[in-house]
Every structure is written in C-alpha cells, then in structure tokens.
Amino acid sequence: MDAFFASVAVRDTPGLRGRPVIVGGGDRGVVLSATYEARAFGVRSAMPMAQARRMCPAAVVVPADHGRYREASSAIMGVFRDLTPLVAPISLDEAFLDVAGARRLFGGPVDIARAIRARIAAEQGLTCSIGVAPSMFVAKIASTRCKPDGLSVVRPEEVLAFLHPLPTAALWGVGPRTEETLTRLGLRTIGDIARTPADTLRRALGAGAADHLIALAHGRDDRRVDPDRTEVSIGAEETFPTDLAEPEPLARELLRLCTRVAGRLRGRGEVARNISIKVRYADFTTVTRARTLREPTDVTWLVYRAARELFDELWGTQRPRVRLVGVRASGLSAAARAGRQLTFDEQPARWADVDRATDGAHRRFGDGSVRPASLLASPSKRRTVMIVRP
C-alpha cells in the first residue's frame, strides 16, 4: 500500500487531500507515515517528529488510529484471498501472493494485478503499488520502485537486466555495515556482486551472508508464498517522555515490554526462538542486538532474561541517555509443535504456570490486574498485591 497510515487518514478526512500529512505522536515520537506531499520536504518514516516538523512546518500532524488501519488491512487482504488462497501478509499493508493457480479463472498475472488495484481503489479509496515477477525477492523490489500507485512487471528473461543496475542496498540482508564493506571492495551495484568471485565475498562477509547475496544477485530466490506464516515477528517498543540514563528504570521498561511481547505470543499460540532488542540513544543513534534461544519459548521470564542479558552487554559502563527501548520476538512457530527441553536452572514449567495464572487474571479482571512487583504503581496508588513465587 502507498503511505498506508497517512492514506487512510486522508481518505477518512477528505479535507486533508493534497496537503502534507504526517502520522505520528508528539515531538519525542517518530513519524509512522507521511503522504507524498510531506515526503517532498524530506519527511520519512521513523524520522523524529521534531525534525519532521522543522522540515515541513506546514504539515498536518494526525495521531495514529490502529483500529482503522486494521479494518482497512482486513478488507484489502480479503480482496487478495478472493483471487488466490496463497496470500502471505508480512505487515498490515503488504503481502506476497502466488497467483499461478488463479490464471485459469482470472487471467494472467498482469490482469490479476490490475484487478487488485481497481478493487482496492473502488472499495477502499486507497492506492497500492504491485510488482509482478517470478520470485518474491524481485516482486518486492519491483513494487518498491514503481511507487506510488504503480504496476511493475519483471518477466523471467528480464530479471538480471532489472536487478544488476540497482544499488547493493536494494538486496535483502544489506544493511549499513554490509553496504560499507561492499563499498570498500568497490561493489556498488547488484551487478558488481554478481561479477565478484565468491571467495572474495566470503572472506569479507562470511560464507552464509556471501552465499545469500550471491544467490539474490543472480536472481535466485526459491522461497514459496506460505499462507500459514502471517507474521514473522512480534514486538513492542516505548519512547520515553524524558531520556533515561539509570539502569533501574530502564530494566523496568524492558520488563514491561517483555511482558507485552510474551503475552502476545501466548495469545497467538506461538513460541519464539529469537529475541532482539532495539535501543535508541538521545542523539537518535539506534543499535540492535539479537540472541537465539536454546529452545523456543513464550515464557515471560525467559524472554526477559534474554533481553536483559542483551541490554546489559550493550549498556556496559558508559550509561548514555536512552530515548527508546524495544523488544522483538522472531523465529515463530506453533506452541503445540515446539519441543521443550527442561533444565534445572530455568524451571520454565513453573514460570509458565505463573504466566497462565496471570493470563487468567487478565481475562477476568482486565490487563494490569496482576503484574511483576517492580511494575507496580507508586505506594499511594497500589491496590491489593498478589505475589507468586514459582
């Protein structure tokens, strides 16, 4: 979808049409979405709101309305599923579709893409950009490069000619550090990577990363659209009203986020194998760290322990001021299918009992009715407290 959150806001408030619109919070928040009129001033997603306001002082700032976004997303995904059951959403506003089996009923891929765009425009009053290609990777890039409100078709015989002039940053897996390494090697385009000996890339990037980029640079992506994998991660983050520099309040906020993430995992009947954290400092420098667990889990204490260890390693002795902290769980699988290995030091089964009791209390008495003692309100606001020791 094109500038999804902002486009929904404009659709629901026609007086905003044609004006620069930013979806976000106060000056300490970040931009969630911006219309293309605002982007013309340099405003982009994840930019600090204070900076966005300076760059586009005439912008209309509207708060996020996640209920409306979910409603529109559900209708849009319904349009997709009317055409093919092989739909894999990767966010509220983006999905992969495998339309190979739909051609007999609805025509070729380009015809199907045009039908999707027409229905979304007619039924939702929104625009989208679609990439049609023989692989998920190429389709994703094609959709990005025809925004806004575009349709891009890359046929099998055109894949390499389409990919090779593009910058290396267009490849999945090329972040700022990898891009710096590739630039030092004199590699600036995807075609440069395709023409570089594999051993050279493996020495610079490691075998796994190098082989991944080599395959993509040659247009090879064997993944299939998996309709059962609708969300690849579950996360939560918090921007603080004032920057924090002491470990205790940061640890409490980290626990609060882990509690939310683990609760969502249990609510979805899933467990996670990977835990990552995001820390944004006062100067907006953002750092992430990740860890793979020995066994997948939905237990709050195990999620928190992993996140806290990552944070402690990152925190060190410098104690810079922190603006935002986030926690994310990925590598998801169904809890019923995940094997669990009990260990003497973790006692996850007993912590899981605590989580089940907490979830039951939340269902009966509301969110926040039971919580870790460190997350309780000030003494004057505390109510009855139940302490559970597994």
Locate tokens 């597994």: which residue? 390
Which one, of 168, 75, 170, lies nearest residue 131 by Cα?
Answer: 170
Question: Who contacts 369 (Cβ-Cβ below 8 Å, separation ≥6)?
Answer: 361, 362
Q: Which of 49, 64, 79 is the last residue of a domain?
A: 64
pLDDT at residue 353, rounded to an integer: 63
Which CATH number is 185's domain given? 1.10.150.20
Q: Which of 192, 217, 242 is the last residue of a domain?
A: 217
pLDDT at residue 93, rounded to an integer: 92
Whether residue 97 is contained in a domain is answered as: no
Whether residue 251 is contained in a domain is answered as: yes
Whether residue 292 is contained in a domain is answered as: yes
Read off the amino acid at residue 88.
Answer: A
Residue 248 and residue 316 in one domain: yes
Locate tokens 């990439």: which residue? 131
Question: Who contacts 330 (Cβ-Cβ below 8 Å, separation ≥6)?
Answer: 232, 233, 234, 272, 273, 274, 276
Residue 239 and residue 370 in one domain: yes
Residue 261 and residue 211 in one domain: no
Which CATH number is 36's domain given? 3.40.1170.60
Whether residue 85 is contained in a domain is answered as: no
CA distance 238 to 210: 35
Residue 189 and residue 286 in one domain: no
CA dihedral 383, 384, 389, 390 (to 10 degrees): -100
Q: Show binding-site residues.
A: 93
Residue 211 and residue 240 in one domain: no
Read off the amino acid at residue 318.
Answer: Q
Q: What are phi and psi of 299, to 5 degrees?
A: -85, 125
Residue 314 and residue 193 in one domain: no
Residue 176 and residue 313 in one domain: no
pLDDT at residue 384, rounded to an integer: 47
Predicted structure pTM score = 0.68
- Residue 172: give the domain boundaries: 160-217
Per-residue pLDDT of the chain (390 residues; tens, 9 = 90+): 999 999 999 999 999 999 999 998 776 778 889 999 999 999 998 888 889 999 999 999 999 898 899 899 999 999 999 999 999 888 889 999 999 998 888 999 999 999 999 999 999 999 999 999 999 999 999 999 999 999 999 999 999 999 999 999 998 878 777 888 999 999 999 999 999 999 999 999 888 888 989 999 999 988 888 886 655 678 888 888 888 888 888 999 999 999 999 988 888 888 888 899 999 888 878 888 888 888 888 989 899 999 999 898 887 656 688 988 999 998 877 776 444 444 444 455 565 666 676 666 555 555 555 556 555 554 444 444 444 444
Q: Which of 14, 46, 64 is the last residue of a domain?
A: 64
CA distance 210 to 321: 36
Which one, of 309, 301, 291, 317, lies nearest residue 352 by Cα?
Answer: 301
Overall number of domains in the chain: 3
Which CATH number is 321's domain given? 3.30.1490.100
Residue 340 and residue 273 in one domain: yes
Q: Show binding-site residues for Mg(2+).
A: 93
Residue 250 and residue 339 in one domain: yes
Q: Which two tokens stand for residue 30?
A: 């970040």
Whether residue 116 is contained in a domain is answered as: no
Question: Mutual orientation of helices 66-83 and 109-124 as an angle, nearest 10°?
Answer: 140
Residue 241 and residue 365 in one domain: yes
**Which parts of 94-164 are beta strand (E)?**
94-97, 130-132, 151-153
**Which parts of the chain are beta strand (E)?**
21-24, 31-34, 60-62, 87-91, 94-97, 130-132, 151-153, 233-244, 270-281, 286-297, 322-334
Active-site positions?
Answer: 94
pLDDT at residue 363, rounded to an integer: 54
Read off the amino acid at residue 23.
Answer: V
Whether residue 211 is contained in a domain is answered as: yes
- Assign 32 to helix, strand or coil: strand
pLDDT at residue 370, rounded to an integer: 56
Whether residue 204 is contained in a domain is answered as: yes
Residue 263 and residue 376 in one domain: yes
- Cα separations (Å) of 89 from 80, 92, 224? 10, 7, 13
Whether residue 22 is contained in a domain is answered as: yes
Residue 238 and residue 372 in one domain: yes
